[in-house]
Amino acid sequence: MALVRLIEYPQASPEVRSVYDDIMKTRGVDWINNFWKALANDPKELARIWANVKRVMAPGALDPLVKEMIYVAVSATNGCEYCTHSHTAAARKKGMSDAMLMELLAVVGLANETNRLANGLRVEVDPQFK
């Protein structure tokens, strides 16, 4: 159970509904996931986070599927259950196959391994990399 109540659409203020409407329109879905319903306890915070997600995840120098997979990589590294589920679902919607997910996680696992080898051995950065 979340630490704050979830604000459902019918009970939401016009300010919150307006963000909910934009989320559904932007994503082409007809429901709001719990993350936003929890954030809606602070309508300004809800609007702030949604504006950031919309801006950062928009197409740019990287394509949206790559961005979504990077989101999954970070969420798996941090062990965030909610985010791993929601962003894996989002990445699949954008075209990630099971084979791509398995390969993505293989890289995540390896990076977490060698990060600790480098940190544990306190390897100094080669001047060539700087």
Q: Is 97 in the site for a second copy (CB under 8 A)?
A: yes
To a second copy, the closest distance from the beta carbon of 18 in angstroms equals: 18
Site for a second copy (CB under 8 A): how many residues?
79
To a second copy, the closest distance from the beta carbon of 94 in angstroms equals: 13
Helix (H, G, I), strand (E, B) or coil at 13: coil
Stretch 14-43: interaction string toward a second copy, x if CB under 8 A: -----------------x-xxx--xx-xx-
Q: Cα–Cα distance between 33 and 90 in angstroms, integer?
A: 12
Contact 48, 36 (CB under 8 A): no
Nearest alpha-carbon partner for 20 in 3, 1, 39: 39
Q: Cα–Cα distance between 71 and 86 in angstroms, integer?
A: 10
Map the footprint of a second copy across residues 98-127, applying CB under 8 A.
Answer: 98-126
Q: Cα–Cα distance between 114 and 104 in angstroms, integer?
A: 16
Map the footprint of a second copy across residues 71-90, applying CB under 8 A.
Answer: 71-89
If the CB atoms of residues 25 and 129 are measured against a second copy, the closer one turns out to be 129
